[in-house]
Amino acid sequence: MPNPLGAVCATLLCIVLACLGCQQTASDAVTSIEGVDPQLLVQRGGLRFVADCQVGLQLAHAQGSPCLLFFTAEWCTFCQQMEEMSFTDPAIQQLAEQFVCVLVDADLDREVCRQFAVRGYPTVQFLDAHGRKLHSLVGRQSPTQLELGMRAALQRLAWLDKGTTTQR
Protein backbone atom coordinates (compact mmCIF):
# COMPACT_ATOMS: atom_id res chain seq x y z
CA MET A 1 0.00 0.00 0.00
CA PRO A 2 1.43 3.44 -0.92
CA ASN A 3 2.52 5.73 1.89
CA PRO A 4 0.26 8.86 1.77
CA LEU A 5 2.70 10.89 3.84
CA GLY A 6 5.51 10.07 1.42
CA ALA A 7 3.37 11.16 -1.54
CA VAL A 8 2.53 14.46 0.19
CA CYS A 9 6.21 15.09 1.00
CA ALA A 10 7.25 14.30 -2.58
CA THR A 11 4.59 16.68 -3.93
CA LEU A 12 5.68 19.46 -1.56
CA LEU A 13 9.32 18.94 -2.51
CA CYS A 14 8.43 19.26 -6.21
CA ILE A 15 6.49 22.46 -5.53
CA VAL A 16 9.33 23.98 -3.49
CA LEU A 17 11.92 23.08 -6.13
CA ALA A 18 9.72 24.47 -8.90
CA CYS A 19 9.24 27.72 -7.00
CA LEU A 20 12.95 28.06 -6.32
CA GLY A 21 13.65 27.52 -9.99
CA CYS A 22 11.08 30.16 -10.98
CA GLN A 23 12.46 32.67 -8.52
CA GLN A 24 16.01 32.15 -9.63
CA THR A 25 15.16 32.38 -13.33
CA ALA A 26 12.96 35.44 -12.92
CA SER A 27 15.51 37.15 -10.71
CA ASP A 28 18.36 36.45 -13.13
CA ALA A 29 16.34 37.69 -16.09
CA VAL A 30 15.10 40.83 -14.35
CA THR A 31 18.54 41.97 -13.18
CA SER A 32 20.22 41.39 -16.52
CA ILE A 33 19.53 44.78 -18.15
CA GLU A 34 22.86 46.49 -17.75
CA GLY A 35 22.86 49.99 -16.34
CA VAL A 36 19.22 49.98 -15.18
CA ASP A 37 18.28 50.21 -11.52
CA PRO A 38 16.98 46.71 -10.61
CA GLN A 39 14.04 48.35 -8.81
CA LEU A 40 12.82 49.60 -12.21
CA LEU A 41 12.76 46.11 -13.74
CA VAL A 42 9.73 43.82 -13.77
CA GLN A 43 8.98 40.42 -15.23
CA ARG A 44 5.71 39.85 -17.08
CA GLY A 45 5.26 36.40 -18.53
CA GLY A 46 8.62 35.52 -19.99
CA LEU A 47 9.61 39.10 -20.82
CA ARG A 48 11.52 41.59 -18.74
CA PHE A 49 10.46 45.21 -18.79
CA VAL A 50 11.78 48.58 -17.68
CA ALA A 51 8.94 49.99 -15.56
CA ASP A 52 9.82 53.63 -16.25
CA CYS A 53 9.05 54.99 -19.70
CA GLN A 54 11.66 57.77 -19.60
CA VAL A 55 14.43 55.37 -18.52
CA GLY A 56 13.36 52.79 -21.11
CA LEU A 57 13.33 55.31 -23.95
CA GLN A 58 16.74 56.65 -22.89
CA LEU A 59 18.11 53.09 -22.78
CA ALA A 60 16.74 52.34 -26.26
CA HIS A 61 18.31 55.54 -27.59
CA ALA A 62 21.67 54.80 -25.93
CA GLN A 63 21.70 51.24 -27.30
CA GLY A 64 20.33 52.21 -30.71
CA SER A 65 17.59 49.62 -30.18
CA PRO A 66 13.91 49.74 -31.00
CA CYS A 67 11.48 49.97 -28.11
CA LEU A 68 8.39 47.90 -27.32
CA LEU A 69 5.99 49.83 -25.10
CA PHE A 70 3.37 47.68 -23.36
CA PHE A 71 0.49 49.80 -22.03
CA THR A 72 -1.35 47.83 -19.37
CA ALA A 73 -3.35 48.11 -16.16
CA GLU A 74 -3.78 45.85 -13.13
CA TRP A 75 -7.54 45.64 -13.73
CA CYS A 76 -7.18 44.72 -17.42
CA THR A 77 -8.11 41.07 -17.92
CA PHE A 78 -6.99 41.07 -21.55
CA CYS A 79 -3.60 42.47 -20.51
CA GLN A 80 -3.15 39.65 -18.00
CA GLN A 81 -4.21 37.07 -20.58
CA MET A 82 -1.71 38.47 -23.04
CA GLU A 83 1.07 38.30 -20.44
CA GLU A 84 0.23 34.66 -19.69
CA MET A 85 -0.42 33.61 -23.29
CA SER A 86 1.82 35.68 -25.55
CA PHE A 87 4.73 36.77 -23.38
CA THR A 88 5.49 33.16 -22.45
CA ASP A 89 5.75 32.08 -26.09
CA PRO A 90 9.37 31.19 -27.05
CA ALA A 91 9.16 32.99 -30.41
CA ILE A 92 7.99 36.18 -28.67
CA GLN A 93 10.73 35.91 -26.06
CA GLN A 94 13.35 35.52 -28.78
CA LEU A 95 12.07 38.49 -30.79
CA ALA A 96 11.81 40.62 -27.63
CA GLU A 97 15.59 40.39 -27.25
CA GLN A 98 15.83 42.83 -30.16
CA PHE A 99 13.80 45.46 -28.28
CA VAL A 100 14.04 47.44 -25.09
CA CYS A 101 10.72 46.44 -23.50
CA VAL A 102 8.98 49.12 -21.42
CA LEU A 103 5.93 48.58 -19.24
CA VAL A 104 3.57 51.53 -18.84
CA ASP A 105 0.95 51.14 -16.10
CA ALA A 106 -2.13 53.13 -17.10
CA ASP A 107 -3.05 53.83 -13.48
CA LEU A 108 0.41 55.11 -12.53
CA ASP A 109 1.46 56.76 -15.80
CA ARG A 110 -1.67 58.46 -17.12
CA GLU A 111 0.31 61.31 -18.65
CA VAL A 112 2.48 58.88 -20.63
CA CYS A 113 -0.68 57.17 -21.90
CA ARG A 114 -2.01 60.58 -22.99
CA GLN A 115 1.27 61.44 -24.72
CA PHE A 116 1.08 58.23 -26.75
CA ALA A 117 -2.68 58.62 -27.40
CA VAL A 118 -3.51 55.23 -25.89
CA ARG A 119 -7.24 54.61 -26.15
CA GLY A 120 -7.52 50.96 -25.07
CA TYR A 121 -5.72 48.26 -23.16
CA PRO A 122 -3.60 46.42 -23.81
CA THR A 123 -1.78 48.53 -26.38
CA VAL A 124 1.66 47.73 -27.75
CA GLN A 125 3.55 50.49 -29.53
CA PHE A 126 6.87 50.05 -31.25
CA LEU A 127 9.31 52.95 -31.58
CA ASP A 128 12.74 53.25 -33.12
CA ALA A 129 15.71 54.40 -31.03
CA HIS A 130 14.82 58.03 -31.83
CA GLY A 131 11.20 57.72 -30.72
CA ARG A 132 9.64 57.45 -34.20
CA LYS A 133 6.56 55.23 -34.26
CA LEU A 134 7.11 52.01 -36.17
CA HIS A 135 3.89 50.09 -35.53
CA SER A 136 1.15 49.63 -32.95
CA LEU A 137 -1.29 46.96 -31.80
CA VAL A 138 -4.46 47.52 -29.77
CA GLY A 139 -6.26 44.81 -27.83
CA ARG A 140 -5.27 41.34 -26.69
CA GLN A 141 -2.79 39.82 -29.12
CA SER A 142 -2.31 36.09 -29.55
CA PRO A 143 1.30 34.92 -29.81
CA THR A 144 0.93 34.79 -33.60
CA GLN A 145 -0.56 38.28 -33.81
CA LEU A 146 2.11 39.74 -31.53
CA GLU A 147 4.87 38.02 -33.47
CA LEU A 148 3.53 39.48 -36.73
CA GLY A 149 3.38 42.93 -35.11
CA MET A 150 6.93 42.66 -33.82
CA ARG A 151 8.20 41.54 -37.22
CA ALA A 152 6.30 44.40 -38.91
CA ALA A 153 7.99 46.88 -36.57
CA LEU A 154 11.42 45.40 -37.29
CA GLN A 155 10.73 45.50 -41.05
CA ARG A 156 9.67 49.13 -40.81
CA LEU A 157 12.85 49.86 -38.83
CA ALA A 158 14.99 48.18 -41.50
CA TRP A 159 13.20 50.19 -44.19
CA LEU A 160 13.76 53.46 -42.30
CA ASP A 161 17.40 52.59 -41.66
CA LYS A 162 17.90 51.74 -45.34
CA GLY A 163 16.42 55.11 -46.31
CA THR A 164 18.74 56.88 -43.88
CA THR A 165 21.77 55.00 -45.20
CA THR A 166 21.04 55.78 -48.85
CA GLN A 167 20.50 59.49 -48.14
CA ARG A 168 24.01 59.98 -46.72
Same domain, 68 and 25: no
Same domain, 44 and 112: yes
| CATH classification at residue 80 | 3.40.30.10
Q: Which domain holds residue 26?
A: 1-30
Same domain, 148 and 83: yes
- Per-residue pLDDT band for 166 (boundaries 50, 70, 90) equals low
Average pLDDT over every residue of 9-35: 38
Same domain, 18 and 64: no
- Per-residue pLDDT band for 164 (boundaries 50, 70, 90) equals low
Q: Where are the alpha helices (DSSP H) in 64-133?
A: 77-85, 90-96, 110-115
Select the more confidently predicted residue: 18 or 128. 128
Name the percent of the chain in helix, strand, coil, to the closest 5.
50, 20, 30
Same domain, 100 and 124: yes
Same domain, 148 and 95: yes
Same domain, 42 and 112: yes
What is the percent of the chain where pLDDT is above 70? 77
Same domain, 43 and 7: no
pLDDT tens-digit map of 33-55: 767 788 889 999 999 999 999 99
- Per-residue pLDDT band for 68 (boundaries 50, 70, 90) equals very high
* Closest listed residue to residue 113, CA positions, set 123, 128, 98: 123
Same domain, 118 and 163: yes
* Total structural domains within the chain: 2
The confidence score (pLDDT) of residue 9 equals: 35
* Closest listed residue to residue 69, CA positions, set 52, 86, 81: 52
The rounded Cα 90 to chain-centroid distance in angstroms is 13
For the chain, what is the total number of helices (H) and then of strands (E)?
6, 6
Same domain, 72 and 111: yes
* Closest listed residue to residue 26, CA positions, set 38, 12, 13, 11: 38
